[in-house]
Structure 1
Amino acid sequence: MSDGIDHIEEFHGLPVFTLARDEAPAPGALPEPDAVAWRLDCGWDEKWTFPELWRHFTSVVDTERVRALVIGPWWSGEYSELAPVQELIVADAARFPALRALFLADVVGEECEVSWLRINDITPAIEAFPLLENFGVRGCGDTYRDGDLRLRPVKHDRLRVLRFESGGLPGSVVRAVGASELPALEHVELWLGVDEYGGNATLADLAPLLDGGRFPRLRHLGLQNSEIQDEIAGAVAAAPVVAGLESLALSMGTLTDAGAEALLAGQPLTHLDELDLSHHYISAPWRTRIQEALEPHGVRVELEVAHDIDEDDEWRYVAVSE
């Protein structure tokens, strides 16, 4: 399942522009370096390897003015791991003094299933850019190894947005986020996924994100795409972090009436600007209760149901897994 994955069209407040694989772009054909988020994509034609595309990018664009960078499919022909690509970016970090946003693996299912995106340790990509404000990555762990997608606890003074899009986010990555020193962090989005694809995070792993003390500036919390979404909703209902949030996302997972009941029975949510529960398995009566409890207070409630929802069917699926 990969209902929740599309190519990024805007990143860090900038439109995404895919650099054409043209050795000699016409004068005026390229936007100003700081006006777009530059997307690099090796495409299907096997014309460019990523090192060739990278050399082309750094020769035709003033990298000192680049503010945002998006890495699309980095392989031409047979799939290859991201690690050499990341190493190339990290090695050239000094050439990007204005870079504030980086997204790794803007890849959709037609190009490669998310479960096959092997990302390795992404810590160096964060550490290489001390002024980075926005970091995102798409990819899965591995049930049979301790997760190809890895993160070590980091200290970063400027990072405000951290986003993991995954059909299986390893518990080790969640624990590393919770152990990191990120005093500016305002927005966290974790697609937790399923155990089959390495998503083995537990409620205990989420505890540092929920206690409210680790990241005092946090305003958006997304704990999404989980097969334990009801349990997460129960923990969130009593979590100190909620009082400081402006928006909360428990979407994309297997949330049922039990999770909805826990949310309404817990602490008030009426201070939120938005509560996103889309792709859920909540019955119509409980959807109505949520709306009646929150919408009169100005809370935007997203309640789009999962595809082909059948309230009598015990089988539930997350939005993004394979």
Structure 2
Amino acid sequence: MEAIITVKDLKRTFGNEKALDGIEFGVGRGEVFGLLGPSGSGKTTTIRILTGEFEPTEGTVEVLGYTHKDFSRSSYIKQLGILSDNSALYERLTVKDNLELFRKLYGTNKQSVRQVLEAVGLESHQDKRVSVLSKGMKQRILLCKAILHEPEVLFLDEPTSALDPITTDRIHDMLLRIKEQGTTVMLTTHDMDEATTLCDKVAFLDNGKILEQGHPETLRHSYKNNEIHITYNGGKTTSVTRSMENKPALERALFDSEVIDIRSDYPTLGEVFKKVTGKELV
């Protein structure tokens, strides 16, 4: 698969503090790649380097064939869509006027505003001032702004942070459609369910270092235990190692009327993160 983003031995320091300490990863065309980690782990710093806001201290980064020295070029910037905590809208303008402003800036067709608003379910709100909209609506408009010009690469920094579940699901659906159209997406999140739903590959980032990376399901399989968990009526739970020695006990559990649930150990992505880093994501 063609590499769209390549990061090798990337380091970034702020004074004596190491924000990134030699991270490496690659993202192929049309993939969704997630940087997962708690606040302060280096996720946002990575995005800001790749979008040209910060310079790397050491290492090499390449996006769409451009190195970090070329990230300020308009030919590079026009191929990116960015949603970050620095993204903003003009509060006094309407939804439509905000998007029209950016549409003209990027030179996209007139139908693009209507199309992106329909995609996020906000076409009926296009004539409302941004100032009267909820946080969830504003977040969806910011996403519209980021994809209005059909970018080659979409960078999303905590795209659904603090949003309600319905809005989050709508944004997830939209991102999966964007992926199907061939856009490469890189996102940061501390939401492991979001990463499991969206990402083709993830990297666990902690204290500026990548401790593990791979496909979410592959990582889950890699860290599972060879145990069967049995739950009984009343809430009691026992764990039995899967082995020939325990075969009779497992067979009895299958036909025990007091047993209400039997499942193999299959950790969530969040549980894998805890096993790898020794930390819980909050």
Q: Name the TM-score, length of structure 1 as normaliser.
A: 0.30
More strand by percentage: 2
Which protein is bigger by CA-based radius of gyration? 2
Relative contact order, higher structure (CA 8 A, sep 6+): 2
Q: Name the TM-score, length of structure 2 as normaliser.
A: 0.33
More helix by percentage: 2
